[in-house]
Structure 1
C-alpha cells in the first residue's frame, strides 16, 4: 500500500506535508455542501514543487486539487486525492503603474489587494461577497464577479497576463513574448487542438453567435468558450480558458490584473417595495439613473436579518409579500453624487415603494448595510433546522423577465416544501441566489433535492433561456447539467479542452466535466449539531483570515469541522479514531487557539469560536486544577510578588550570563514542566513599587476632571526598556499631570487583576471570584461610581467591559454604575481636548490590538497618533499577535506565526516610533520586528 506521506517527502519537507488524521478530516470541507477526505494536504512554495506534485500525481494516478481560501460554494476545493493548500506561501502582491495594474499570487485575499490599491483610489474588478476571505486563486479560477462589476469588470475581462503551469509541468506566461513561440514548439499538440477548436467555432455561425450572446450576461457554466471568440493566439486562448476553469486545467502561479476606479463618494439606501415583482420593475429605472449596485432581497431574507442590531425598524413590520433593493450610487465628486441621487429621487414617485427613499453617505451606516447583504447566506444557514445543510444556488435570468422568473421559482419552493427558502442577489444583472436548507440523511430527502434541481434546470434553461451558474462556478452541483445548458456541440468542445490539457483527468476530477448524472448528489456534507456556541456555523470560511493560528495549526472553521467529525465518530462507535482525533485536537484545537474573538468580527452571524474553546478548556480542567486556580486568585498579591521576584532574578541572570540565557534555561525546564512559560527578551525588570506610593492626588477641584487609575498587573510587573526614562506607571501619571487631570491610583492596587487570565484559561470559579473582587475594589476607589476608572491595557479594559454575567446581583448593581475606560478612550476623550501639542514625530507605526477592534476604538487610536505625528501607518496585515495574555509565552510558535506577515511589512517601512495599547502585544511585535513597540501613552507624553 502506498505510504503517501513518505513518498511526498522525496520532494517536500515534512513540515509542509499534513497527513495526520486531524489534518485530513479538517480539510475535507469547504464552503460548499460536499465532503471528500484528502489523502494528504501539502503546502508547496515554488513552481518547482508544483511541477514535482504534477509528476507525482501522474506517477501514482492520484488526483490533485488546488485550494486557496476555501470559500467556493460548488465543491471545487475538496478532493479524495492530494489537496494543495496555497493560502500561506503564495501571497506576494505588487502594485504597478500607479495602481492601474496589480500583480498577484493566488494566496492573497481580494480584500487585501484592494487595501493596497485604496490609496490610488482603485480596486480589482471582481467584488464577491466573500472578498475578505476569498483569495485571488479562487477569484480567478471561478471567474468571480460580484455586486457591481457585472460582466465587463469580472475576472475574465480584467485579467491582463497570466503565468501558469500545465499538468505536464510546462510553464508559460502571456507576459513573456517569447513564450508564444515556445508554446507552439513545446506544446504543439495542444496548440494545434486549440487552434482547431477556434476555427470550428468561427466556421459555425450559430455556435459563434450563441457564445457571444451568452457572455453578454453573467455565466460561469462550463469553460470560458468566449476565449475562442475574443482571442486569436492559442496561448492567449488557453490563458483565458483558465479563468473560470475552477482549477481543472492548470495551476495559476501569478496574474496581472487591470484595476478599476474605486469612487470615493458613495450614497446608499435600502428601498422597500410592495412585492418582489414591483422591486424587479424598478431595476431598469435604477440602472438608467446610474446606480452602480442594485441588490435584491426578498421578504424571507429580510426576516433572517430583522433582529440584527442596527436594522431599520420598518423591516420588522413589512408585509409578507414585500421585498427590498439595496441601492448604491458612486461618483468621483460629491456634486456628481448629489446629482445622481437627486435625479433618481425626482422620478421615484412612479415606483411601488413602501417608504420614502433615504440615502446615506455615512460610512458606518453604509458598511452596515453591506455587511448585512454580504452575510445573508450565512445568516440563513445559522437559523436552519438542526441536522440540515444549507445550499446556495446561483442562477441568472434576462432582467426583463426577472420578476416572472422569481415568482416561478417561489412556486417550486412551495411545491417541494422548501418553506424557509430565500432569494437575494445582483438584480441589475438578473443574477439571483437562492438558499434552501436540506437534510441528506434519507433517500427520500436526497430524491427531493434531485427532483427539485431537475425542475430548476428546466425553469432556468428551457423556459427563460437563463444560466444555471452566473458567478459561483460549475463545480460538482451543476456538472451534470452543463450539456443541458450549452447543447451537445459546445459541450463536446469542453470535453476536448479537458482532454487536450489534462489527458489523465487528474486535475480536480469531477468538476465541470463529469459523466455521472448523479454527481450533484454524491459525497454530500452533513452538519450535525455539536455545541450551542457554533451550531449556526455553515463552514463558509469568512473567519479564517482573522485567525492568528491559521498558519500554525487550525482556523475557527477547521476547529468546528473537527468537532463535528468527533460527534459523527462517537455516534458511529468508532472509539479508536475518536480518541486519536481528541488527542490531536488538544494542541491543534485547544492549546493554540488565542481565543481573541476576532473570528466573530468577520463572521456574518457573530460566532465566536473562542467561546467554544474556553468552554472546552473549562471542561478539561480537573477539580484539583480548579482548586489551585481559585487559590491563586485568592492570593494574587502573593503571586504577583513572586512573579516580580522571578522577573527581577531572571533579568539579573540574563544580564550576567548573556543574551537568551533565560530562554534556554526555561526551554530546558519546559521539557520537564510543559506548562513552563518561555523567557522572552522583551521582559524588562519590574519597576520599583514606589511608583504606586504617593501617586494619589487630592480630590479634583471644581471643573477639573478626575479619574481613578487602575494600573494593570502587567504595568506593575514590567519595567523600562533601554532608552526609556519612565516606566508605564510613571508615563500614565505624567500624561495626567501635563493634561491637568487629577489621577488617584486604585486603592490597594497590588494584587488586583481584571480576571482575564482566568477567563481565557477556562477557570470558571477563579474568574468569578476575581471579577467580583475587582468590581468591589473599583466601586470603592471610584467613590461609588462618581469617577471614571482608567486601565492602561486595552485587553484588560475589554475584559472589564464583559464582567456582568459572572457577577453576583449586588456587584451587578455596582458594575452598572461604573465608567471603565481603556487608555485609548481616556487619551482620545479626556486628554486630546485639553492637549497642547509641543512636538510631533515625523512617522509612526501603530498596532491596533484585538481588543480595540472588538471595542470599535481603532479610529480613536488613529486620531491620537495623528495628533502627535505627521505620518501614521497601520500595516495592512495588522492583526492579532497571538499573545493572548500569556499564551505567547507558553506557545511562542503561535505568536511567531501570527506576527510574521505584519512583521515583514513593518520591517520595510522605518519609522520614528512604534505604538500599541497592550503590553504583551507590544512585546510580541517588538520580538517579531526588532523594533521597540511602546504604549501609545509614550507618544502622547513625549508630545505634551
Structure 2
C-alpha cells in the first residue's frame, strides 16, 4: 500500500541489473534507479518478517539491507557507540523541551513544527504523538532477594512508560522483582551501554560490534562471570544480544533472558494475579517472534485480561528508528488494525512498537512489565 511488495522488490532489482548489463532502455533504467532507493530500500522494514509469510522463506529484508550499503559516517557512529551517556541525556533533554512546548502551544502545533523541521533538516526525527516524555532517573533496586542483573536498554533509559509518563519501565520491573523475591543489580556504567542494535540498523558494523562487546563485558562482570542471570527489558535488544551469543560473538557463559522468558519462568510463578482488565490487545513484536517467545508473551498477557485480542500484525512497521524517520511506513503497516470495541489497553515488549501502536490506535500500549505489575501481588 505504500511502496513495493517483497516480490516486486526482487523483480525490479533484477530488471535494474539486466538493464545495467545490457545497456538497453537507458531512460527506463534511470527512472528505476531514481525511485528504487525510496520504494525498495528506505521503506523496507528490514525486520525479516516477510520470510515468515513467504512460501519458501525468502528474507527480502536482508537484500535491502545489503543494497543500503555501509553507513556513510562510520567514524561518527563509532563515536556515538562510545558516548551513549551523552546521546541518551541529549534525547531526554529534547523530549523534555517537547513536553514543555506541548503544554504551551498544544500538541498539534508542536507536531506541525516538528514535521516542518524534519522536512528541512532530515537529521531531525519526527516524534510521534504517542511518544512519552523523558524517563526519570533509574530507581535504586532492593538489596534483598535472589540476585539478577538488570540491563535497562537505552530506549527505556530515555523514554518514560506510557503517554502519561507516570512511571518508568525500570520502576515496574523492579517492583515485579521485589514481589517475586529478586534483588536486581545494574551493570557498571549502565548509562554508557547499548546492545548495538541502532548501529546495526544503520549498517555501521564496527560501531555495532563495539557497543555489543562493551555491553557483554559489563554484563559478564556484573553477573559474576555468568553465574547470575541477566534480564534484558526490551525485545529487540534481547534479540540482538541473544542472537550474537548464538553466533559466538558474545560470551557463552552469560545467561541472557528476554522479558517474556524470564517473567514466565521466574516471576509469574511467584505472583498472585488478583486483578484483570476487561479487554486487552497484545502485540507480539518481530523480536519476540524471532526468539520464539510469542507464546510465552501471550500466556503472560492472558493472565491479566478477561478477553485478550491478538491482532494479526506480522510487523508494525516502526522498525527500529524508521517510525521516527519514515513514519509513513508505520502508518501504512497499521492502517487496517482494528481493536475490539471498548478496548482501552494494549501491551507489548518493544518500546518503539508501543509508541507506534499508541499513536495509530489511540490506545495506550505499555510494557509487559507494567501490565504484570498492575495486576499482581506477591504470592
Fold shared, TM-score > 0.5 on shorter chain: yes
Assess, with a 3 A threshold, how the Cα gap between structure 1 residues 590 and 845 changes in structure 2: closer, same or farther.
same
Q: What secondary structure sits across from 1:785 in the alignment?
A: coil
Q: Is the 8 A contact 1:686 1:718 kept in 2?
A: yes
The Cα shift of 1:577 comes to 3.2
Q: Residue 850 and residue 753 in structure 1: after superposition, are their counterparts in 2 closer, same or farther (change >3 A)?
A: same
Consecutive unaligned residues in structure 1, runs of 5 or more: 1-550
Q: What is the rounded CA distance, in whole Å, between the counterparts of 1:922 and 1:722 in structure 2?
A: 10
- 2:117 is aligned with 1:669: yes
Question: Compared with structure 1, are the counterparts of its residues 806 and 673 closer, same or farther at alpha carbon in structure 2 (3 Å cutoff)?
Answer: farther
8 Å Cα contact 2:344-2:364 kept in structure 1: no
Q: Which residue of 2 aligns with 1:462?
A: none
1:773 to 207, 214, 233: 214
Structure 2's unaligned 5+ residue stretches are none
Relative to structure 1, the CA distance from residue 603 to residue 734 in structure 2 (aligned partners, 3 Å threshold; closer, same or farther) is same
Pair 1:655–1:847, CA change in 2 (3 A): same
Picking from 260, 269, 275, the partner of 1:833 is: 269
Match of residue 530 from structure 1: none
Contact 2:347 2:371 survives alignment (8 Å): yes
What is the Cα deviation at residue 687 of structure 1? 2.3
Separation in 1, partners of 2:121, 2:307: 46
CA contact (8 A) 1:916 1:934 kept: yes
2:32 aligns to what?
A: 581
**Change over 3 Å in CA distance of 1:914–1:710 after alignment to 2:** same
String of CA shifts for 1:531-570, please: whole Å, max 9, x gaps: xxxxxxxxxxxxxxxxxxxx21112111111111111011
1:806, distance to aligned residue in structure 2 (A): 8.2
Change (3 A) 1:822 1:805: closer
Cα distance change on mapping 1:604 and 1:773 into 2, 3 Å: farther
Deviations 1:190-234 (A, max 9, x none): xxxxxxxxxxxxxxxxxxxxxxxxxxxxxxxxxxxxxxxxxxxxx
The CA distance in 2 between the partners of 1:586 and 1:829, in whole Å, is 44
Other structure's SS at 2:191 match = coil
The match for 1:283 is none
- Equivalent positions of 1:377-776 (< 5 A) are 551-574=1-24, 575-619=26-70, 621-622=71-72, 625-689=73-137, 691-692=138-139, 694-695=140-141, 697=143, 700=145, 704=146, 706-721=147-162, 725-776=166-217
Give the match's secondary structure for 2:231. Answer: strand
Residue 655 of structure 1 deviates from its aligned partner by 1.5
- The match for 2:280 is 844
Assess, with a 3 A threshold, how the Cα gap between structure 1 residues 778 and 606 changes in structure 2: closer, same or farther: farther
CA contact (8 A) 2:235 2:258 kept: yes
Matched, 1:920 2:320: no
Q: Deviations over 1:381-434 (max 9, x none)?
A: xxxxxxxxxxxxxxxxxxxxxxxxxxxxxxxxxxxxxxxxxxxxxxxxxxxxxx
TM-score norm. by structure 2 comes to 0.93
Q: Superposed, which structure 2 residues align to 1:306-321 within 5 Å?
A: none
* Contact kept in structure 2, 1:708 and 1:782, CA below 8 Å: yes
Aligned mates of 1:679, 1:664 — CA distance in 2? 11
The aligned residue for residue 794 of structure 1 is 235
Deviation at 1:688, TM superposition (A): 2.3
2:252 paired residue among 805, 816, 831: 816
Q: Give the Å deviation of 1:736.
A: 0.7
C-alpha separation in 2, matches of 1:607 and 1:697: 48
The answer to whether residue 302 in structure 2 is matched with residue 866 in structure 1 is yes
Per-residue displacement from partner, 1:739-767 (whole Å, max 9, x unpaired)?
Answer: 11221123221121111111112111111
Matches within 5 A, 1:176-191: none
Whether the 8 Å CA contact 2:82–2:192 is kept in 1: the answer is no
- TM-score, normalised with respect to structure 1: 0.38
Cα deviation for residue 695 of structure 1 reads: 2.3
Structure with higher Rg: it is 1
Shift of 1:852: 1.3
Q: Which has the higher helix share?
A: 2
Change (3 A) 1:720 1:936: closer
CA deviation digits over 1:792-849, x for unaligned, max 9? 1111111112225887xxxx4x521112111111211111221222222222111111
Between 1 and 2, higher relative CO (CA 8 Å, sep ≥ 6) is seen in: 2
Q: What is the deviation of 1:771?
A: 1.8
Give the C-alpha shift of residue 595 in structure 1: 0.8
Q: CA deviation at 1:576?
A: 4.3
| Counterparts in 2 of 1:894 and 1:881: CA distance versus 1, 3 Å | same
1:487-544 residue CA offsets vs partner (Å, 9 max, x unmatched): xxxxxxxxxxxxxxxxxxxxxxxxxxxxxxxxxxxxxxxxxxxxxxxxxxxxxxxxxx
- C-alpha displacement of 1:615: 1.8
Q: Which residue of 1 aligns with 2:327?
A: 892
Distance (Å, rounded) in 2 between the aligned partners of 1:731 and 1:680:
24
Aligned partners of 1:916 and 1:885: how far apart in 2? 15
Does residue 881 (structure 1) correspond to residue 313 (structure 2)? The answer is: no
| Aligned match of 1:854 | 290
| CA positional deviation for 1:674 | 2.3
Q: Deviation at 1:721?
A: 4.0
Write out per-residue CA displacement over residues 761-786 of structure 1, whole angstroms, 9 at most, x where no aligned residue.
21111112112111112111111111
Number of residue equivalences:
375
Give the drift of 1:715: 0.9
User: What residue in structure 1 maps to residue 224 of structure 2?
Assistant: 783
Aligned equivalents of 2:192, 2:177: Cα separation in 1 = 23
Query: What secondary structure does 1:852 align onto?
Result: helix
Counterpart Cα distance in 1 of 2:37 and 2:124: 17
**For 1:565 and 1:928, how far apart are their aligned partners in 2?**
36
Q: Is the 8 A contact 1:618 1:763 kept in 2?
A: no
* Contact 1:552–1:894 (8 Å) recurs in 2: yes
**For residues 881 and 679 of structure 1, do their structure 2 counterparts lie closer, same or farther at Cα, with a shift above 3 Å needed?**
same
Alignment deviations for residues 236-282 of structure 1 (CA, whole Å, 9 cap, x no partner): xxxxxxxxxxxxxxxxxxxxxxxxxxxxxxxxxxxxxxxxxxxxxxx
Q: Output the CA distance in 1 between the equivalents of 2:362 and 2:81.
A: 35
1:931 equivalent in alignment to 2:377: no
d(CA) in 2 for partners of 1:717, 1:674: 21
